Amino acid sequence: MTTKPDYDALVIGAGFSGLAVLHHLREKGLKTIVVDGESEVGGTWWRNNYPGVRTDSEYSYYSFSFSKEVREEWAWTERYPSGKEVLSYLQFVADRLDLRKDIMLNTRVTKAVYNEADNVWDVSLSNGSTVTATYFISGMGVLSRPIWPDIPGREKFKGRLLHAAEWPREGVDLKGKRVGLIGLGASGIQITPTIAPEVGEFYVFQRQPNFIVAATNPKVTPEELAHVRATYDEIWERAANHPFGVDMVPAQYSAKEVTPEERQRIFESKWDEGGFHFANECFNDLATDHESSELASEFIRGKIREIVKDPATAELLCPKDYSFNGKRVPTGFGFYDAFNLPHVHLIDTKTNPITEITEKGLIVDGKEYELDVLICATGFDAMTGNLTGLDIVGRGGEVLRDKFKVDGIGGNLGIMYNGFPNFMVSLGPQTPYSNLPVPIQLGAQWMANAIDFARKNNIAVLEATPESEEWWGKESERAAKATVMYEQGKKAKAWFLGDNVPGKPREIQVYMGGGQVYQDYCRQAVADDYRSFRAPEFA
Ligand code: NAP
C-alpha cells in the first residue's frame, strides 16, 4: 500500500461492545473510529425503549470492570436497572473515558470489502464516503435485527403497529386503549405487567408459554453500593469464572440427589431470591439433565397455578410441551400477577393460530379482536442477523453470509473467519451464552492483545485457520448437545438454535459450554501465539 489507511481499526456499533473495543484499542495506541447509525451511543440500550425494559442481570455484575473511575463514580439505583439507567451508564462511560471524539454517529456502514492488494478494509459509509482501516471489527450486537411475525395482513392494520425493539423514543400513550400483544419472550414479559394497569383492554396473544422466574427490584442502598464498589474485583472474578457470567455460586448437587422436601425448600428459597438465582443456584443440572429440568418445570408450574387466580388462564400459562431451560429463561417482574386484572385477557394462539391481521385488529379462531394498538414483541434474527444483513466481502470476493452456509457460523471461537483477514467480531455467533458485559469486555481485551501481538511481530494478517473453524464448530455442537436445550429448544422454537426465524438454517447460535471454558480456550490461543489465528501462508 502506498498510503497509510485512514484508521488502524474501524468498529461498527457504539453499544457495550463498541465502547469496550474502542477503549482497549486506544490503550494499545491504535487509531480507531467507531461508526454507529443511531444518533446516540448505547446500542441495544439506546434502541430498546419499550415499556418495562430493564436488565435481567443484577447491576453489580452488569457493567465493565476496566475503569476504576467509572466504577467509583457511577451509582446504580436499582438491583435490575431500567433500560434508561443502563443507557445513562453507557453515556457516562463514553463521556468519562472521552470516547465520543472517536465515535461517528448517524452513519451506517453499508459495505465492507477486504482489499487484498493493500491488506486493508475499504468500508463504505452511508454518508457516501469510503474509509480504509487495517482492522475491521463488528460490535453490531446479537439481538438487534428485529423480526416481525409472518402473519398475513400486517400492512392493512389501521391502528398503531409497534415492534418492541423499535419503540418510539417519545413514548406511546396507551391509556385506556385496546391493546394487543404478540410475543412473550423476555421483551413481551417485561411489557405485559408494565402496561397492563394503564390500558383499557389488553389482549395477550400467546403461542407458546414461557418459564418465567420472578424477581423483585429493590432500590440500591448507599451501603450496598459502597460494598459492591469495595469488592468489585472479586465480583468480577467470580462472574468471569462462572459458566453464565454472573456473580453466583455454582450449585453442587443434582436436583435428583436430594429428597423431595429438600428440593422444594431449595427451589423456594432461590425463587424468593429471584431472577437468575433460581436458574443458576438451585442445582447443578437444571440445564443439562432432562429429569432435573422437568423437576424445575413442575415447581414453576406450581407457582403459576398459585399466582394466577383463574385456573384456565393458569393452565394456559404453564408450558407443557418443553421443559425449563429449553430456551432462554426470562425474568418477570409481576408478569403472572398481571393476568389477575379483569381487563387482561390471555388468548391461546397455539391451538388456534392468528390467521390474519385486519384493518381493525386480528383474527383468532374466526373471532376478530378489535385493537387500537398492536405490539409485536416477536424477537430477533439473533447472533447472525446483523452479519448476514451487511455485505462483508472477504478474500476473493467471498461474502460472509455465503461462507456461513458452507462452513458454519462460528469461525474460530466466534471471533475470526478464514477468508476474512483482520476482521473480528465481538459476541460473534457461537460465543458464550451468558451475562453479556463479561464476554464483551474479555473479548475486547483479547482482540486488543491479539492486534498488539500482530503489530509487534510484524504479522500482517490475523485470520482463523480452516482447521480451527472446523474444531470450533464441532466443539460448539458438542457443548450444545450436552444441554437440555438441544432437544427441548426444538419444541420451544429457541433462538439459540435459529428455530425462531422461519427458514433460518438450524445451527447452534451460541456457545453453551460455559463462559469460563470459553475463556480458557481464548487464553490457550494466546499461549499458542495465536497460531490458530494465523492461516499458514500469511503467518
Ligand atoms: P423472543 O424471546 O424470540 O420471543 C419472541 C416471542 O414472539 C415468542 O413468544 C414467540 O412465540 C413470539 N412469536 C414470534 N413470531 C410469532 C408469530 N408469527 N406468531 C405468534 N407469536 C410469535 O424475543 P424477545 O422477547 O425479544 O427476546 C429475545 C432475546 O433478547 C431474549 O431471549 C434475551 O436474550 C434478549 N432480551 C433480554 C432482555 C433482558 O435481559 N432484560 C430483555 C429483552 C430481550 P413462540 O415462543 O411460540 O415462538
* 14-23 pLDDT per residue, tens: 999 999 999 9
Ligand 1 within 6 A of CB of 192: no
Using left for φ > 0, alpha for ψ between -120 and 50, and beta otherwise, residue 242 falls in: beta
Q: Strand pairing of 423-425 and 391-393?
A: unpaired
Nearest CA to ligand 1 atom 26: 379
Q: Whose CA is nearest to atom 33 of ligand 1?
A: 186
pLDDT in tens, 420-430: 999 999 999 99
Q: Quick one: pLDDT at residue 537?
A: 61
Of 156, 206, 162, give the one whose Cα is nearest residue 185: 206
Q: What is the pLDDT of residue 29?
A: 98
Which residue's CA is the nearest one to ligand 1's atom 4?
185
Measured between alpha carbons, how far is residue 215 from residues 59, 226, 271 in Å?
13, 23, 8
Cβ atoms of 46 and 84 within 8 Å: the answer is no
What per-residue confidence (pLDDT) applies to 535?
A: 78
Q: How far apart are CA 490 and CA 326, in angstroms?
A: 8
Mean pLDDT of 467-486: 96
> Which amino acid appears at position 395 of this protein?
R
pLDDT band at 46 (very low <50, low <70, confident <90, very high): very high
Average pLDDT over residues 449-474: 97
- Burial letters 61-87, b for 16+ CB under 10 A, else e: bbbbbbeeebbeebebeebbbbbebbb
Residues 332-353 as b or e (16 or more Cβ within 10 Å = b): bbbbbbbbeeeebebbbbeeee
For residue 77, report the distance from its CA to the centre of ligand 1, in Å. Answer: 27
Residue closest to 287 by CA, chosen among 136, 534, 510: 510
> What nine digits make up the cell of 389?
444483513
Tens-place pLDDT, residues 92-123: 999 999 999 999 999 999 999 999 999 999 99
pLDDT higher than 60, residue 538: no
Q: Which atom of ligand 1 is nearest to the CA of 151?
A: 18
Q: What is the pLDDT of residue 2?
A: 56
**180 Cβ below 6 A of ligand 1:** no
pLDDT beyond 80 at 461:
yes
Give the pLDDT score at 490: 86
Strand 201-206 versus strand 354-357 pairing type: unpaired
What pLDDT does residue 356 have?
A: 97
Ligand 1 atom nearest residue 350's Cα: 47
Q: Which residues contact 362 (CB under 8 A, 6 or more apart)?
A: 151, 153, 157, 180, 205, 354, 356, 368, 369, 371, 374
Cα–Cα distance, 252 to 249 (Å, whole number): 9
pLDDT in tens, 288-341: 999 999 999 999 999 999 999 999 999 999 999 999 999 999 999 999 999 999
Share of the chain above pLDDT 70, in %: 99
* Per-residue confidence (pLDDT) for residue 28, from 0 to 100: 98
Q: Does residue 355 line the site of ligand 1, with CB under 6 A?
A: no
Q: Report the nearest-CA residue for atom 32 of ligand 1.
A: 328
Q: How much distance in Å is there from the Cα of 213 to the middle of ligand 1?
A: 15
One-letter identity of residue 465: T
What is the set of domains in the chain, with CATH numbers? Answer: 7-145+382-466+514-538 (3.50.50.60), 180-376 (no CATH)
C-alpha cell at 215: 424477581
The predicted model gives 181-207 an average pLDDT of 98
Q: How far is the CA of 186 from the centre of ligand 1 (A)?
A: 6
| Segment 466-491 mean pLDDT | 95
Report the separation in Å between the CA atom of 483 and the middle of ligand 1, taken as the mean of its atom positions: 20
Distance 291 CA to ligand 1 centre (A): 25
Return the pLDDT at 491: 87
Ligand 1 site, residue 56, Cβ cutoff 6 A: yes
Mean pLDDT of 443-447: 98
Write out pLDDT tens, residues 333-378.
999 999 999 999 999 999 999 999 999 999 999 999 999 999 999 9
Cell for 130? 469510503
pTM (2 d.p.)? 0.96
Q: Is the pLDDT of residue 536 over 80?
A: no
**Using a 6 Å cutoff on CB, does residue 43 contact ligand 1?**
no
